[in-house]
């Protein structure tokens, strides 16, 4: 396993999530440095922290340094020149995880698209750095080559887009066929590691990989289940994460699009999270769903991992998430198979009385993501 020094925010939730991401990408974190502001212009971190980081890097000799924020090419370059190590920012790290996890040809294309867009957004500035002979690998290239490099990325993006469009059309045909056959569809959505696949397995009797690692699932799987003698199709999807730039969500759009057309979305929420994490993750999920254009009233909230918290803690969380006025939530434990029947009853009720219920809309407004994502 490769080793990494991690730089992240000075908060327990951030530290845990960042370590989770590092491990998911196959890095062992040998040291963590925290700071409450990571957007300083020159290095992201302060000069004092940089000195400390230099010393520790000398001593521990990690393979990479992981910076849990999005770095500009200039900042990345500045850090790399001081530390003589490869620097991975949050986006690059997530891309590495995605890359190692893809299995279907569609998800490979999606990840490639995200990588190219990452590359494209940095291409111009990287080339500008190279003008001063500063950026290794771009030394001494002229405007002509710069244009070729940039256009090449653009061209590859175009090619992948059209392939993905084709895959999207294929999905459309599948959807239409399912509709014709009279299947109602259910999709599981939620923050990464909330327990979507565990719930999927329990509802379908499957044994798809579930794990503590973030982003275990990248490919959508659909299975048939029966609820009260009625057949449904249920799909597991890629998890959400905060501070994901729009283009990455867009890269996964054809997969996530299923969420727009599905009859019911079960938004899986990990109730065992700390309150601040719970709120942030919830806001981030609601934002992503609303960005995708999902109708608010087809969401069921499944408060999962209830085996890890007390009843009163669950109630507190229901209040905090403002779910009380909304009748469409259920407390479950996928692992302990608790209340899964209640979940099924809720699904059935909604399908049967879809129009007769009146739900509160615009929950996203009350939960603005502090990171602006
Ligand atoms: N205690 C407890 N653990 C759970 C429960 N549901 C899931 N887990 C655990 O949470 C971890 C993540 O579960 P997954 O089902 O892989 O989560 P996911 O939402 O599919 O995650 P990604 O595919 O990475 O987005 C695993 O270690 C599960 O065993 C639950 O109800 N209770
Ligand atoms: Mg999963």
- Quote the pLDDT of residue 336: 97
pLDDT band at 368 (very low <50, low <70, confident <90, very high): very low
With beta carbons less than 8 A apart as the criterion, state whether 127 and 241 touch. Answer: no
With cut-offs at 50, 70 and 90, classify the pLDDT of residue 35.
Answer: very high
Query: Which residues have a Cβ under 8 Å from the Cβ of 83 and sit 6 or more positions away?
Result: 53, 54, 57, 65
- Is the Cβ–Cβ distance between 289 and 258 less than 8 Å? no
Among the bound ligands, name the one nearest to the CA of residue 215: 1
Q: Reduce the DSSP state of residue 230 to 3 states and report it.
A: strand
237 C-alpha to center of ligand 2: Å? 7
Instruction: Name the strands in the sheet holding 64-67, side by side, starting at the edge strand that comes first in the sequence.
Output: 27-35, 2-9, 64-67, 86-89
- 235 neighbors 257 (Cβ within 8 angstroms): no
Residue 268 near residue 304 (C-beta atoms within 8 A): yes
Instruction: Please check whether the two domains, 2-98 and 183-366, share a CATH topology.
Output: yes
Q: Going by CA atoms, what residue is nearest to atom 24 of ligand 1?
A: 215
Return the higher-pLDDT residue of 157 and 259: 157
pLDDT tops 90 at residue 9: yes
Q: Give the model confidence (pLDDT) of 270-307 as tens digits.
A: 999 999 999 999 999 998 899 888 988 899 999 999 99
**Which atom from ligand 1 is nearest to the alpha carbon of 215?**
24
| pLDDT tens-digit series, residues 266-279 | 999 999 999 999 99
pTM over 0.85: no
Q: Between residues 324 and 243, which one has the greater pLDDT?
A: 324
For residue 209, which atom of ligand 1 is closest to its CA? 16
pLDDT score recorded for residue 240: 83
**Fold type of domain 183-366:** Rossmann fold (3.40.50)
Pocket of ligand 1 (CB under 6 A): 190, 192-198, 210-212, 214-217, 239, 304-305, 307-308, 333-335
What is the band of 41 on the pLDDT scale with cuts at 50, 70, 90? very high
- The encoded tokens of residue 27 equal 């890095």
**Separation of 44 CA from ligand 2 center, angstroms?**
32
Question: Mutation test of ligand 1: which of 198, 216, 237, 271 has the most ligand atoms closer than 8 Å to its C-beta?
Answer: 198
Query: What spacing in Å lies between the alpha carbon of 150 and ligand 2's midpoint?
Result: 35
- Parse the chain into domains and list their residue ranges: 2-98, 102-158, 183-366
In angstroms, the CA 142 to CA 205 distance is 59
The hierarchical CATH code for the domain 2-98 is: 3.40.50.11060
């Amino acid at each position: 396993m490769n080793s990494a020094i991690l730089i992240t925010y000075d908060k327990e939730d951030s530290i845990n999530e960042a370590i989770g991401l590092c491990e998911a990408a196959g890095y062992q974190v040998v040291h963590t440095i925290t700071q409450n502001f990571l957007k300083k212009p020159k290095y992201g971190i302060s000069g004092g922290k940089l000195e400390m980081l230099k010393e520790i890097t000398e001593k521990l000799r990690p393979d990479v340094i992981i910076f849990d924020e999005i770095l500009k090419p200039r900042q990345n370059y500045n850090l790399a020149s001081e530390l003589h190590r490869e620097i991975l920012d949050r986006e690059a790290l997530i891309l590495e995880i995605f890359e190692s996890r893809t299995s279907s040809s569609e998800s490979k294309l999606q990840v490639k698209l995200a990588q190219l867009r990452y590359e494209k957004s940095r291409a111009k500035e990287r080339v500008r750095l190279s003008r001063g002979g500063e950026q290794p690998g771009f030394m001494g290239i002229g405007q002509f080559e710069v244009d070729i490099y940039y256009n090449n990325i653009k061209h590859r993006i175009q090619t992948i887009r059209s392939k993905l469009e084709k895959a999207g059309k294929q999905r459309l045909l599948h959807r239409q066929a399912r509709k014709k056959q009279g299947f109602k569809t259910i999709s599981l959505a939620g923050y990464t590691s909330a327990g979507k696949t565990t719930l999927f397995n329990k509802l379908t009797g499957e044994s798809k990989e579930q794990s503590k690692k973030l982003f275990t699932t990248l490919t959508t799987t659909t299975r048939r289940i029966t609820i009260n003698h009625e057949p449904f199709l249920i799909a597991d999807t890629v998890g959400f994460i905060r501070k994901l730039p729009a283009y990455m969500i867009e890269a996964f759009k054809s997969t996530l699009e299923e969420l727009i057309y599905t009859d019911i979305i079960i938004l899986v929420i990990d109730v065992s999270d700390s309150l601040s994490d719970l709120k942030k993750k919830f806001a981030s999920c609601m934002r992503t769903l609303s960005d995708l254009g999902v109708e608010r009233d087809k969401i069921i909230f499944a408060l999962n991992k209830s085996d890890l918290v007390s009843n009163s803690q669950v109630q507190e969380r229901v209040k905090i998430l403002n779910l009380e006025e909304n009748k469409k939530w259920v407390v479950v434990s996928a692992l302990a198979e608790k209340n899964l029947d209640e979940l099924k009853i809720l699904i059935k009720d909604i399908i049967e009385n879809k129009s007769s219920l009146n739900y509160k809309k615009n929950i996203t407004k009350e939960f603005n993501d502090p990171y602006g994502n």
